[in-house]
Amino acid sequence: MSKVGIIGDKDSIMGFLALGIDIFPAYEADDIKKIIHTLAEKEYAIIYITEAASLLARESIDHYKDRELPAIIVIPGMGGSMGIGMNEVRESAKRAIGADILFSE
């Protein structure tokens, strides 16, 4: 069975524990980066990360962007969406398809 984890502030990620997702509370850039690399080494298939945490670890996320695993998925935190997750999906679709099919008007 594939492992799934989530990184972010404790308030945003605690609910995922009930879904069987491993939670990794982190607030500092260095901690977030270490957790990303550790989870990748431990062969986590999916790593969810809150938008706020993703802003602190952009280069670590980019390191895994074109790899098959882990899939790092940016999600909104408790404060609501900053639009980062949707932009990530849009960019992935552009790379895969060659056109922006998710444009918004």
Q: For residue range 27-56, what is the model confidence (pLDDT) as tens digits?
A: 999 999 999 999 999 999 999 999 999 999
Cα 93 to Cα 42: distance, rounded to the nearest angstrom = 27
58: nearest Cα among 69, 70, 49 = 49
Pairing of strands 44-50, 71-75: parallel
pLDDT recorded at residue 5: 98
* φ, ψ at 34 (rounded to 5°): -60, -45
Query: What pTM was computed for the model?
Result: 0.82
One-letter amino acid identity for 16?
Answer: F
pLDDT recorded at residue 57: 97
Residue found under tokens 């008007």: 105
> Which CATH architecture best describes the domain 3-79?
3-Layer(aba) Sandwich (3.40)
The residue extents of the domains of the chain are: 3-79
pLDDT recorded at residue 86: 75
| First and final C-alpha spacing in the chain | 40
